[in-house]
Amino acid sequence: MFEFAQKEILWFLWLIPATFIIFLLMRQGRKRAIRRFGDPELVGSLTPLVSLQRPVVKFILFLLSLGFVILALAGPRFGSRLEEVKREGVEIIIALDVSNSMLAEDYRPNRLERSKLEITRLIGNLRDDRIGLIVFAGDAYVQVPITADYAAARMILDNITTDIVPVQGTAIGRAIDLASRSFTPDSQSSRVLVIISDGEDHDDNPVAAAKKAREHGITIHTIGMGRPEGAPIPLPGSQSRFLTDEEGNTVVTRLDESTLRAISSAGDGIFIRAGTTGTGLDMIMDEINQMETTEFEEMVYTEFEERFQYMAAIALFLLILDFLILERKNRWLNSINLFGDNTFKKKTG
């Protein structure tokens, strides 16, 4: 993939044809002035060292160098270069609840969007750790396998909605089991699972799954999204209509703090209830930063490889060539008469 980093600079390429037109007009004006002064051939014989071709060559070299300077300033670059990098960090998987209860608006704009915002901020602060992303509702799915490609993780995170999982519910245990299988096999690095949910689990035994994961060296932290008093769940596309049960009563989704605390305790981690100013990911990252790191190698795609230096080198070469070519003929070189032209000798002999 090839592109220019600063495409707007390419507009300056219009300077080249504009300057060339001005040069042609000046040349025509100069010829008319010579014809008014006298016979052009006679004037030429009176000024034998004046060259008509060299200024044209020098001007063309100048225009070419100007063009390559503009191309260099525009930042030509190639993308998708695969390279091996060494990192030292831990592996982090975030399991994000995308059940309908995460649409409750006790956090603005709602629990899910607030969680995504905080995860994006967390990814932006990562340096050498690897990250993965799992979404879950009635079932769990890997959205981002363990990777150091933070840009890809952010892009996928932006597109996550409650519609991404076809089965509704809150199966935290399945998310834990899937995360346990999603870490790098046989890796000696520290492994962390962060669960972001309102904790309303109705489908499995998440505490037993957490104990099993801990036996495999996985630390589990939980973040509770929601308030104990609860909030209604808005229907899609409506701010005034809410989800109701079979009897027509408005469904209120509440934070199940006890379940999330039990999961984090079984996983030897910490539980944090999200507040009005943040979800608590900063506190969890402080815990992660104290963990032992491991060096690992990974093949990653660098976004772009700069190639402006080639354009700049060509421009410099053309400018040097322009400088070395004199506008007037050289007496010593002219006496050598490489081309066997005796016209001047005949006229002056």
Q: How far is Cα 179 from Cα 92, in angstroms, rounded to an integer?
A: 10
Quick one: which of 116, 261, 245 has its CA closest to 199? 261
Domain that holds residue 36: 2-75+307-348
104 and 70 both lie in a single domain: no
For 256, how many CA atoms within 13 A lie in the half-sphere containing its CB?
A: 18
Sequence-distant (≥ 6) Cβ neighbours of residue 72 within 8 angstroms: 308, 309, 311, 312, 315
- Same domain for 267 and 316, yes or no, is no
Of 200, 223, 206, 201, residue with least CA distance to 119: 223
CB atoms within 10 A of CB 286: 10
Q: What is the pLDDT of residue 98?
A: 95
| Count of the separate structural domains present in the chain | 2
Residue-wise pLDDT for 273-296, tens only, equals 987 666 678 888 889 888 888 777
Q: How many CA atoms lie within 13 A of 157 on its CB side?
A: 28
Residues 107 and 241 in one domain: yes
CATH number at residue 278: 3.40.50.410
Q: How many CB atoms lie within 10 A of CB 326?
A: 12
- Whether 93 and 204 map to the same domain: the answer is yes
3-state helix, strand, coil in the chain (%, to 5): 45, 25, 30
Round to whole Å and give the CA distance between 62 and 68.
10
**Residue where the block lists tokens 């469904």:** 251
Residues 113 and 261 in one domain: yes
Distances (CA, A) of 126 to 147, 251, 289: 12, 38, 10
Q: What is the pLDDT of residue 246?
A: 78
Q: Tell me, what amino acid is at 275?
A: G
End-to-end CA, the chain: 65
Q: Are residues 113 and 239 in the same domain?
A: yes
Q: Is 54 exposed, middle or buried (0-12, 13-18, 19+ CB in 10 A)?
A: middle
DSSP bridge partners of 273: 224
Give 86: exposed, middle or buried? Use CB within 10 Å, 0-12, 13-18, 19+. exposed
What pLDDT is attached to residue 120? 92
Determine the Cα–Cα distance for residues 6 and 120; give it in Å rounded to an integer.
Answer: 27
* φ and ψ at residue 280, rounded to 5 degrees: 100, 5
Do 322 and 288 lie in a common domain? no
pLDDT under 50 in the chain at which residues?
332-333, 336-349
Where on the phi/psi map is residue 190: left (φ > 0), alpha (ψ -120 to 50), or beta?
Answer: beta
- Those residues whose C-beta lies under 8 Å from the C-beta of residue 15, and which sit 6 or more positions away, are 66, 70
Q: Is there a single domain that holds both residue 327 and residue 294?
A: no
| Amino acid symbol at 169 | G
For residues 36 and 115, membership in a common domain is answered with no
Residue among 247, 170, 242 at smallest CA distance from 206: 170
Q: In this predicted structure, what is the pLDDT of residue 199?
A: 86
Same domain for 324 and 249? no
| 215 and 337 assigned to the same domain | no
**Which of 262, 284, 301 is the last residue in one of the domains?**
301
Q: Kindly state the tokens that stand for 241.
A: 């209509």
Same domain assignment for residues 30 and 129: no
At residue 346, the pLDDT reads: 44
Distance of CA 259 to the CA centre of its chain: 38
**Residue 49: Cβ-neighbour burial (10 angstroms; 0-12, 13-18, 19+):** exposed
Which of 284, 301, 318 is at the close of a domain?
A: 301
Q: Residues 100-116: pLDDT tens digits?
A: 999 998 888 899 999 99
What's the confidence (pLDDT) of residue 41? Answer: 64
Give dist(CA 285, CA 192) in Å, integer: 10
